Amino acid sequence: MFKYNHLIKVYYRDVDQMGIVYYTRYLEYFEEARTELLNSLGLTISLIEDRGIQLPVIASHCDYKRGAKLEDKLVIEASIAEIPKVKLNINYNIFDKVSNKQLVTGYTKHAFTDKFGNPKRIPKFIFDKINIHFQKK
């Protein structure tokens, strides 16, 4: 398993009329954490796309346990539990940084496609970057 922790702060733009993070913002937090997780592997989105590969989201899910509030500091733990073959599955856990209480869990699933949307197996350059972290046990 490969994990990456991404820190964020909740801003006014993130909260709804009740003062808690609007539910769709968590998917945006997932995207931010996913981008940084891939970057930590040496896989920037621009590099992936320059090589003719896209990673469209084909499924996403959130379970809301507690609401985050304005100015809370959050830890988004993004993880890859298994080496992908045709789909990249990323799991997310969001915690309040101060209390360490779990707020949200979820996942996104991504296909590997070419720029025309045709499905592909995992490209070797992506496999190699992910696989190396699974060999470090």
Compute the mean pLDDT over every residue in the chain, rounded to the nearest whole number.
96
Helix (H) or strand (E) holding 128: helix 124-134
Is the pLDDT at 12 greater than 80? The verdict is yes
Q: Which residue range(s) make up the domain with 84?
A: 2-134
Residues of the chain with pLDDT > 70, as a percent, come to 99
pLDDT given at position 134: 84
> Model pTM?
0.93
| Active-site amino acid positions | 16
Question: For the domain that residue 47 is a member of, what is the CATH number?
Answer: 3.10.129.10
pLDDT given at position 135: 77
pLDDT given at position 137: 54
Local confidence band at 133 (pLDDT 50, 70, 90 cut-offs): confident
Q: For residue 107, give every residue at least 6 positions away whose Cβ sits within 8 Å of its Cβ, in sequence order, or none.
A: 59, 60, 61, 89, 90, 91, 92
**Distance (Å, whole) CA 56 – CA 80:** 16
- The residue-averaged pLDDT of 28-48 equals 97
Is the pLDDT at 50 greater than 90? The verdict is yes
Question: In which residue are the tokens 């590997």 written?
Answer: 112
Helix (H) or strand (E) holding 59: strand 57-64
Q: Into how many domains does the chain fold?
A: 1
